Amino acid sequence: MTDRMRPEKNVYQDYLRSTHRLGRLVSVITLILLVGAPFVIGAYLGAMPDLGAAARGFLAVGLVWTVSSVAEFLIYTPMLGAGGSYLAFITGNLINMKIPCAMNAREIVDAKNGTAENEIISTLSIATSSLVTILVLAVGVLLLTPLQPVLQSPVLRPAFDQVVPALFGALAYRYYRKDVVLALIPLIIMSALFILVPSLASSTSFMIIPSGALAIGLSWLKFRKAQEGGRA
Amino acid sequence: MSVLSQLNSGTMYLICGAIVAFVAVVCLVFILRAWKAGKAIGMDVARMKRAMTASATFSVLPSVGILLGVIALSGSLGIPWPWLRLSVIGALHYETQVAQAAAEQLGLQLSGESMTAGGFSTIALLMSVCIMWGMILMTVFGKRYLDKLSGGGKVKARKEGPSFADAAMTAMFVGMVSAYIGSYIGSYVSGAGVFQFRGSWTPLAVAAVAALAMAGFTWLTEKKHLEWLEGFSIAGSMLLGMLTAVLIGG
Question: For position A231, what pLDDT does the model report?
Answer: 65
Question: For position B204, what pLDDT does the model report?
Answer: 95
Domain ranges of chain A: 1-49, 52-153, 162-225
Q: Which residues contact A189 (CB under 8 A, 6 or more apart)?
A: A211, A214, B178, B182
Q: Which residue of A has its CA nearest to B64?
A: A136
Residues 111-130 of A with CB under 8 A from B: 114, 116-117, 119-121, 123-130
Amino acid at site A29: I
- How many Cα atoms sit within 13 Å of B229 on the Cβ side? 17
Residues in chain A, total: 232
Question: For position B156, what pLDDT does the model report?
Answer: 46
Query: What span, in angstroms and rounded, lies between the C-alpha atoms of A214 and B171?
Result: 9
| pLDDT for residue B247 is more than 90 | yes
Interface-testing mutation among B177, B189, B239, with chain A (most A C-beta atoms within 10 A): B177
Question: For position B102, what pLDDT does the model report?
Answer: 81
Q: Say if the Cβ atoms of B101 and A61 lie within 8 Å.
A: yes
Q: Say if the Cβ atoms of B89 and A30 lie within 8 Å.
A: yes
Phi, psi of A108 (to 5 degrees): -60, -40
Which residues on chain B are in Cβ contact (under 8 Å) with A223? 162, 164, 167
Cα dist from B146 to A147, B27, B139, B201, B232, whole Å = 46, 21, 12, 50, 33
Q: Of all helices (H) and strands (E), which one includes residue B70?
A: helix B45-77
Cα dist from A199 to A162, A203, A218, B187, B193, whole Å = 20, 8, 27, 9, 11
The region, left, alpha or beta by phi > 0 then psi within -120 to 50, assigned to residue A144 is: alpha
DSSP string, B145-214: HHHHHTTTS-SPPPPSS--HHHHHHHHHHHHHHHHHHHHHHHHHHHTTSTT---S--HHHHHHHHHHHHH
| Of the partner residues A104, A169, A190, the one whose CB lies closest to the CB of residue B209 | A169
Q: Model confidence over B154-185: pLDDT tens digits?
A: 444 444 455 676 687 778 778 889 999 999 99
Q: How confident is residue B1, by pLDDT bands cut at 50, 70 and 90?
A: low
Question: For position A87, what pLDDT does the model report?
Answer: 96
Question: For position B162, what pLDDT does the model report?
Answer: 59
Query: What span, in angstroms and rounded, lies between the C-alpha atoms of B174 and A176?
Result: 7
DSSP string, B45-66: HHHHHHHHHHHHHHHHHHHHHH
Q: Say if the Cβ atoms of B88 and A157 lie within 8 Å.
A: no
Q: Which of B7-16, B37-46, B166-175, B204-213 has the lowest mean pLDDT?
A: B166-175
Whose CA is closest to A90, among A113, A63, A61, A123? A123
Q: Are B197 and B189 in contact (CB under 8 A)?
A: yes
Whose CA is closest to A208, among A70, A65, A69, A53? A65
DSSP code for A42:
H
Cα dist from A229 to A226, A232, B132, B167, B246, whole Å = 5, 5, 40, 17, 50
Q: Supply the ipTM of this predicted assembly.
A: 0.77
| Of the partner residues B124, B171, B218, the one whose CB lies closest to the CB of residue A216 | B171
Query: What span, in angstroms and rounded, lies between the C-alpha atoms of B214 and B221?
Result: 10
Q: Which residues contact A97 (CB under 8 A, 6 or more apart)?
A: A129, A133, B59, B62, B63, B66, B231
Q: Is A192 exposed, middle or buried (0-12, 13-18, 19+ CB in 10 A)?
A: middle
Query: What span, in angstroms and rounded, lies between the C-alpha atoms of B228 and A111?
Result: 24
Q: Which residue of B has its CA nearest to A153?
A: B75
Q: Say if the Cβ atoms of A160 and B72 lie within 8 Å.
A: yes
Q: Are A20 and A82 in contact (CB under 8 A)?
A: yes
Chain centroid to CA B122: 18
Question: For position B158, what pLDDT does the model report?
Answer: 47
Q: Is A221 exposed, middle or buried (0-12, 13-18, 19+ CB in 10 A)?
A: exposed
| pLDDT for residue B85 is more than 50 | yes
Question: For position B62, what pLDDT does the model report?
Answer: 76
Question: For position B65, what pLDDT does the model report?
Answer: 75
Q: Say if the Cβ atoms of A190 and B178 lie within 8 Å.
A: yes
DSSP code for A119:
H
Q: Which residue of A has its CA nearest to B94?
A: A65
Q: Are A182 and A216 in contact (CB under 8 A)?
A: no
Q: Say if the Cβ atoms of A48 and B41 lie within 8 Å.
A: no
Q: How confident is residue B250, by pLDDT bands cut at 50, 70 and 90?
A: low
Segments of chain A scoring below 50 in pLDDT? 1-4
Residue, of B54 and A202, whose pLDDT is higher: B54
| Of the partner residues B4, B113, B202, the one whose CB lies closest to the CB of residue A162 | B202
Cα dist from B53 to A122, A132, B95, whole Å = 13, 11, 29
